[in-house]
Structure 1
Amino acid sequence: MKDKNKSKGADMEDRNIVELFFKRDQQAIRETDNKYGSYCKMIAGNILKSFQDVEECIDDTYIKLWNKIPPSRPIAFKGFIGKITRELAYDRYRAGSAKKRGGGEIEAVLEELDECIPDSGSVESSIMGNELAGIVSDFVGKLPEKEAYIFLGRYFYAYDIAFIAGKFGMTKGNVSVTLTRIRNKLKERLMKEGYLAV
């Protein structure tokens, strides 16, 4: 479904891309790929580690986007497409097409989150599920900028700890301690909200 011929010139405004989806104009896919293709590949690539899996995930992302808009009219289009890409990449990872190539990093990310949100069945669906997603988003929004980046880098973009450490000139141990502290704060917040037993 993805058109390899990207449109020329400046990127189209998000609201105009969404309107193309509502008009069922396939130019919407080309404009989305032109503006956010690299962003989606970065998200999928951090999870899947395989060029072929990433390309197939991006194609699936655009198909799902086409099927979701309409009726959805996302306000934050970049976040909307990023969430779809992330969920599809995790689904593909779980299905086993990239499991042997993942190097254990994704299992580590999921285990860390599972400590914070136990007995969830599916950590990702719990994190992204309606009310809980709002609480987590509010929590991250109130973190200092550096801590918010570290949290999102690890748990949304699936960056490895060494990459985050290099980004901020920290040791891997310091990043791990920071992540543990943030997860504990989130756990306390979720206890207050009634999502976790005290």
Structure 2
Amino acid sequence: MPGPLILEYYNMNLRRSEIEIWDAFVEGHKADFEYLYNTYYAHLLAYAGKFLDDPVLVQECIQDLFVKLWHNRSNLGRPASVKHYLLKSLRNLAYNKLSARQRIRHIGGIEEFDSFNLVFDDPRSLTAAQPLSAALQHKINGLTPRQKEIIYLFYVEDLSYDEIAEILDMNKGGAYKLLYRALESLRLQFFLKKRNPVG
């Protein structure tokens, strides 16, 4: 359990904006750097775990990200959103590591991970909603990795279209289309299942 000084520091940070904390980190304040790490670690772990199937590589990417941030802090600008910046940086770092291992496909010039595991772990799914959750999970598994990734970024990480477009290296219109196509694909799969319940 954290000591009283650490709790006081974290409570103080609740009153500061993420940009103020970022600025303090850029100036070299280790406590603010640690605060950013502790605040965003779970988001980064969950996101990287969706497209990296090696837990050791996930940890390595997150550690490398924060080491690079610390060493390059004097060259960092002020992001519009720290969370968005970290997710994009982690995705790029993971892509670079995987490209060295030849595990990335290039589709029309767009980088795409071989897989993106989108699983909804909801304790409430053990109730009457379980058949719907299982059906939804089955349909989601039929989406492309990129479609699963945009659903994750939009619905789980609650990012804007602008932020998603930057992370996925596309324009805002492309992000709209990708999410629309992913949702249409899910709708179509449910429609076809209703029309043809066998199979």
TM-score under structure 2 length normalisation = 0.50
Instruction: List runs of 5+ in structure 2 lacking aligned partners.
Output: 113-164, 193-199
Q: In structure 1, how many angstroms separate the alpha carbons of the residues matched to 2:82 and 2:43? A: 12
DSSP-derived class of the 1:74 partner: coil
DSSP-derived class of the 1:64 partner: helix
Q: Specify which of 145, 150, 170 is matched with residue 136 of structure 1.
A: 170
Q: In structure 2, how many angstroms separate the alpha carbons of the residues matched to 1:170 and 1:24? A: 52
Quick check: 1:47–1:93 contact (8 Å CA) kept in 2?
no
Q: In structure 1, how many angstroms separate the alpha carbons of the residues matched to 2:100 and 2:188? A: 35
Q: Specify which of 92, 95, 100 is matched with residue 95 of structure 1.
A: 100
1:65 aligns with 2:83: no
Q: In structure 1, how many angstroms separate the alpha carbons of the residues matched to 2:191 and 2:32? A: 44
- Aligned match of 2:42: 38
- Aligned match of 2:189: 171
**Larger strand percent:** 2
- Aligned match of 2:52: 48
Residue deviations 1:70-95 (CA, integer Å, cap 9, x gap): 33221221111111100111122223
- TM-superposed deviation, 1:43: 2.1
- Aligned match of 1:182: none
| Larger radius of gyration between Structure 1 and Structure 2 | 2
The residue type paired with residue 138 of structure 1 is K
1:18 aligns with 2:13: no
Instruction: List runs of 5+ in structure 1 lacking aligned partners.
Output: 100-105, 125-131, 152-164, 175-198
Q: In structure 2, how many angstroms separate the alpha carbons of the residues matched to 1:17 and 1:66? A: 14
- Aligned match of 1:185: none
Q: Cα gap change, 1:146/1:87 in structure 2, threshold over 3 Å: closer, same or farther? A: closer
Quick check: 2:19–2:78 contact (8 Å CA) kept in 1?
no
Q: In structure 2, how many angstroms separate the alpha carbons of the residues matched to 1:74 and 1:37? A: 18
Q: In structure 2, how many angstroms separate the alpha carbons of the residues matched to 1:146 and 1:94? A: 25
The residue type paired with residue 54 of structure 1 is V
Q: Specify which of 79, 82, 85 is matched with residue 77 of structure 1.
A: 82
The residue type paired with residue 26 of structure 2 is F
C-alpha RMSD of matched pairs (Å) = 3.9
Residue deviations 1:79-125 (CA, integer Å, cap 9, x gap): 111111001111222233xx7xxxxxx64xx34xx23x37xxxx37x
TM-score under structure 1 length normalisation = 0.50
Q: Cα gap change, 1:59/1:138 in structure 2, threshold over 3 Å: closer, same or farther? A: same
Quick check: 1:36–1:78 contact (8 Å CA) kept in 2?
yes
Quick check: 2:88–2:166 contact (8 Å CA) kept in 1?
no
The residue type paired with residue 40 of structure 2 is Y
